[in-house]
Structure 1
Amino acid sequence: ERIGYLPEESYLYRFLNADETLDFYGRLFNMSKADRRERVDRYIEMVGLTHARHRQLKEYSKGMTRRIGLAQALINDPDLVLLDEPTTGLDPLGTRDMKDLILKLRDEGKTVVMCSHLLADVQDVCDRIAILYEGELKQLGRVEDLLTEQGRTRLMTSRLDDAAMAEIREVVERHGATVETIDHPTSTLEELFLRTVEESRERPGQRFVPEDVPASDEEPAANESE
């Protein structure tokens, strides 16, 4: 009763709505009516489905189905939550929502075990990882410890002019090291997508116009012929 499980494919009753689904699973744990009502409200709000709680699950998108599946895994308030490929098949917004929920569970003191082949998602939400290959444990430890390259140092500053960069290069070489690269930091495609969506929500109707395309919406005049 202290374990919650979200399989890769959530086989839920499609003719039930969110309230009925969670109430059904609460009954399987012999929860009282009052406890079921409280937890149904709590977890539907937590996974962001309050607006769709009375819609049948067959009308849900893949992301919404994963979220109600997670709520189902939490209905018994487990200490240990097992998640199998929780972000597979989700769009960038759905993936971000799921990762935020996983981090929230961690912050609430729950132990979350996540199985996934999407390594970027694992790196975003996990404190410790284990790598299995052909059924054998190959790596185990904290993410930052396993990924840190001890023999290299990275320095990040605000924008520098050419003279300052030359001086830094000289100091580094004076201490017997080499400057391997100097470039500008980049964000991920996921961060770019989420930022674009957020900006679009703040300024609806605004379009991106490439620099080499006229901004005017007017159609060019048609050529006239005699």
Structure 2
Amino acid sequence: MSVVAIQSVSKRFGTQQAVDALTLDVRQGEIVGFLGTNGAGKTTTIKMLLGFLRPDSGAISILGGAPEDAATRRRIGYMPETAYYYPYLNIHELLDFYGGLCGMPRAAIRARGRMLIERVGLAEAGRRLLRHYSKGMLQRAGIAQALLHDPDLLILDEPFTGLDPLARIHFRDLIRDLRDQGKSIFYSSHELSEAELICDRAAILRRGALVWCGTMREAAGDGRQNLERIFLKLLGGEVQA
């Protein structure tokens, strides 16, 4: 079953072709990494999946509905690459705020919020104002808010940015647990090593067009290649230092 279905989707900004006839799906209980260099069209695609932008052509289905439908959005958890949270809230107050926006009962917000704060490793910083959080701590707060309403689909934009090695391990374990519960995860990244460790499938974007999609086993082939080699072969001339 396809939780996300992208069919021949294109998006242009003036003379720039941001997304070019993209066709891709995400299945139930699957982790899909959406990979590419900066400016490849990853964030534009995510904005269309969330209903923030509309495609110029093609069709998108999310959980059987349209991205802009309120009922569909309630089943999506989203973490942007750079989140801007109210700096004078603590993590408990932040989750109270987001839970209220989702229409969750206060008791459910508090119970699930406590569990998630513990799970992402912020329990000891629970009363600290967000303005005193490091980049990695804010990323973990973003993970907690994305999971608060128990979504069926997680859309994450560069989720590993700012996480230290231990936090990365814990986050990978969390994502795998969610997949095992039947959740679907679609995340953009340019960190190939993380994608190889966590993804069931990866899709590589070049100038808005899909140039490769496959499983990690397919990426490994006969053992003489990996995702990094495929990426460099396809995009090596575009990778910037």
TM-score tier (shorter): 0.5 to 0.7
Partner of 1:15: 88
Among all aligned residue pairs of Structure 1 and Structure 2, give the percentage whose two residues are the same amino acid.
Answer: 49
In structure 2, C-alpha distance between the alignment counterparts of 1:31 and 1:112, rounded to whole Å = 22
Aligned runs of 1:104-183 on 2, under 5 Å?
104-149=177-222
Q: Which digits, 9 at most, give the CA deviation of each residue in 1:28-56, with x for residues without a partner?
A: 01111111111111211221211111111
Task: Note if contact 2:136-2:161 (Cα within 8 Å) is conserved in structure 1.
Answer: no
Aligned length: 152
In structure 1, C-alpha distance between the alignment counterparts of 2:171 and 2:214, rounded to whole Å = 23
In structure 2, C-alpha distance between the alignment counterparts of 1:43 and 1:104, rounded to whole Å = 13
Structure 1 residues without counterparts, runs of 5 or longer: 153-226
Structure 2 residues without counterparts, runs of 5 or longer: 1-73, 226-241
RMSD: 1.8
Q: TM-score, normalised by structure 1?
A: 0.63
Indicate the structure whose relative CO is greater, using CA pairs within 8 Å and at least 6 residues apart: 2
The answer on 1:40 being equivalent to 2:113 is: yes
In structure 1, C-alpha distance between the alignment counterparts of 2:178 and 2:158, rounded to whole Å = 16
Q: Which digits, 9 at most, give the CA deviation of each residue in 1:132-191, with x for residues without a partner?
A: 111111111211122222789xxxxxxxxxxxxxxxxxxxxxxxxxxxxxxxxxxxxxxx
Q: TM-score, normalised by structure 2?
A: 0.59
Q: Which digits, 9 at most, give the CA deviation of each residue in 1:52-89, with x for residues without a partner?
A: 11111111122111111000011111000011111123
- Paired letter, 2:108: D
Of residues 175, 179, 185 in structure 2, which corresponds to 1:102? 175
- C-alpha distance 122-150 of structure 1, shift in aligned 2 (>3 A): closer
